[in-house]
Amino acid sequence: MKFYGYNKCGTCRKAKNFLDENNIQYTDIDITLTPPPKTVLKRAIKAKGMRKLFNTSGVQYKELNIKDKIGSLTEAQAIDLLAGNGRLVKRPIAVDQDRVTVGFDPGEYESVWG
């Protein structure tokens, strides 16, 4: 599993704690330095929808006025934007060959990763 997160993010720490407590191996990747590749983002959009992939509480989201643009973005444009700026991506994203989760919901983590 690859875990795209940010060490200063409380939600990411909660997700990591879940994975650690359940002895789930993962590769920890700093999402701000290495955003998820387009293939992962496409899978996440398919699973959650385009809007759910944006970190709406982030500074970058607000500074770039994504809220005003998101309605007119194509999926390809959104993927390009997210793949180029990890601070725009909702975190964490956990992904393996078959599964993907966006954000941290304990119930979802239990059913998907537990």
Name the 3-class secondary structure at 100. strand
Domains of the chain: 2-112 (3.40.30.10)
31-81 per-position pLDDT tens digit:
999 999 999 999 999 999 999 999 999 899 999 999 899 889 999 999 999
Residue 78 and residue 35: Cα distance in Å, rounded?
A: 13
pTM of the model: 0.93
Which residue, among 56, 37, 57, has the nearest Cα to 100 in the 3D structure?
A: 37
Q: Are 88 and 60 in contact (CB under 8 A)?
A: yes
Q: Give me the mean pLDDT over the 3-25 stretch.
A: 96
Name the 3-class secondary structure at 97. coil
Q: Which two tokens stand for residue 85?
A: 């700026």
Q: Give me the mean pLDDT over the 90-114 stretch.
A: 96
Backbone angles phi, psi at 89, to 5 degrees: -90, 130
Residue 13 and residue 9: Cα distance in Å, rounded?
A: 6
* 114 — pLDDT class (breaks 50, 70, 90): confident
25 pLDDT above the threshold of 90: yes
CA 21 to chain centre: 21
84-93 per-position pLDDT tens digit:
999 999 999 9
Residue 1 and residue 93: Cα distance in Å, rounded?
A: 10
